[in-house]
Structure 1
């Protein structure tokens, strides 16, 4: 399974974990835009992070991770649905991207927002500064400052594969004493901190967990499939056009030689609407019969 998330649980302590590996979906995202290596790496880490976060939530809907800055990479954005469907995009200034640049150099004065948009229920958003040297540090800081369960991240990406490891302390069950809980948490985190990026990217889950926790009894659950899929559609593009109002839509037609083209920034799909399409939309005929839809 090239793209997956896989949960594991320590039997003797109140800690759960999640491992994510992305190959096909990561390559699909990178194929849509000519990203420089440092940007491709950051975007891969963001894809892995969103997939890990999805495993901590129980909801039907969409999780969005978005980082903004005043630097060479003004935007990183990843969406992950509860069905395990991923898409992502980065905006960058090519002339400002140094070959060996990291998060601090690429996204100074940045902020990270996590948005949970359930199909049923209230939308939630949390924001934290990009204050750490890596995206994993920033996400760990987010959980540390948001009064949620202690959670740590380890992320890696190399332009071919993106992977991530998450550890999260669970509510007291097996261990009741605060000192004992803290000691067990620090123990598993300290061992995870010994993990090298090349090990995270190169080892299968069983080997990785054995290398870190061969003295700790744990259970590894069945993996869950992840895949690249863009949520754009001709219907959604038509709704965006209708939201402008008929007068503005017809003005766009006149300004663009009789055809309005809506591009998806994530997958580069193009949806074209001519005068007949626009007339059909505002007559209540829908968008099922396009005059022209092309890549």
Structure 2
């Protein structure tokens, strides 16, 4: 297997003859692109980077053309973390801090997100093409865990009834992660001819988790995917698939911003125009600016065309 080391990489693999799968991801180019739009405190940057790695790992197994939107709503200094990743591993992410928030470099997840115990974790599965019978699904759970990996593991077990283990790490250069999942018995697993017994599946799962637990954050931050795969599972019989390549991509557009303004209603938009003269909307994911003057807004509401859209997180500015 040869890989393009200039690209970010997600490597999927399965344990031969067992209902256990794994993934390793390394995101550097896309992660630096995300950070280039913002200046986050060190602790916030690490949290968001771990979510970026986790979103890519989960999105790699989407069974529809759409995206996973992962959100953490906090009641501490960080009020919102959002990562959006689609089935093609197009990533974007943003974080919102409370006004005047002071964040220590060594702040914990509890310090940042769940100081009052009311934080929540939300995953939305959003199909790109809305077809009859296929609606967005949203799962919401309390923030349970002292790190991003544990929070997501608890979500997967509670909402998806799937044993999942994650190891995540991020700094200002790279976001990496390892995912292991114990699949339901008799799952159709690509590339497998037969499956092990239930006892053998459990033995393989426990052994894989034990090997994963030997992986510490410093090693995860400094070791490439191919080396990690070899180091962790060199004694296991695994099947490796062609690598995938995550990349930064923002899906914001003038049309989507216009639809967001239409959702606000003509009265509210006219009031804002009266106060500001022009509406300036900046995408929180990529920073692109969209300006709407009185003529632009009149044309929006003069049109009978309405379209469903996921609008970018945004700020309205003069």
Alpha-carbon deviation of 1:54?
0.5
> Are positions 1:131 and 2:152 aligned together?
no
Q: Distance in 1 between matches of 2:62 and 2:300?
A: 38
**Equivalent residue for 1:39?**
44
8 Å CA contact retained: 2:70, 2:84: yes
Q: Distance in 1 between matches of 2:289 and 2:20?
A: 46
**What secondary structure sits across from 1:114 in the alignment?**
strand
8 Å CA contact retained: 2:20, 2:201: no
Q: Which runs of 5+ in 1 are unaligned?
A: 287-295
**Equivalent residue for 2:171?**
158
Q: How many residues align?
A: 284
Deviations 1:185-232 (A, max 9, x none): 111101110012122222222211111111101122111121111111
Alpha-carbon deviation of 1:6?
1.6
8 Å CA contact retained: 1:261, 1:271: yes
Deviations 1:88-116 (A, max 9, x none): 11112464311211212211122111110
**Equivalent residue for 1:279?**
298
> Are positions 1:222 and 2:228 aligned together?
no
Q: Distance in 1 between matches of 2:208 and 2:166?
A: 12
TM-score (norm 2): 0.83
Alpha-carbon deviation of 1:133?
1.5
**Equivalent residue for 1:105?**
111
Alignment of 1:185-264 (within 5 A): 185-256=205-276, 258-264=277-283
Alignment of 1:75-114 (within 5 A): 75-93=80-98, 95-108=101-114, 109=117, 110-114=119-123
RMSD: 1.9
Q: Which runs of 5+ in 2 are unaligned?
A: 1-5, 187-194, 306-318
**Equivalent residue for 2:284?**
265
TM-score (norm 1): 0.90
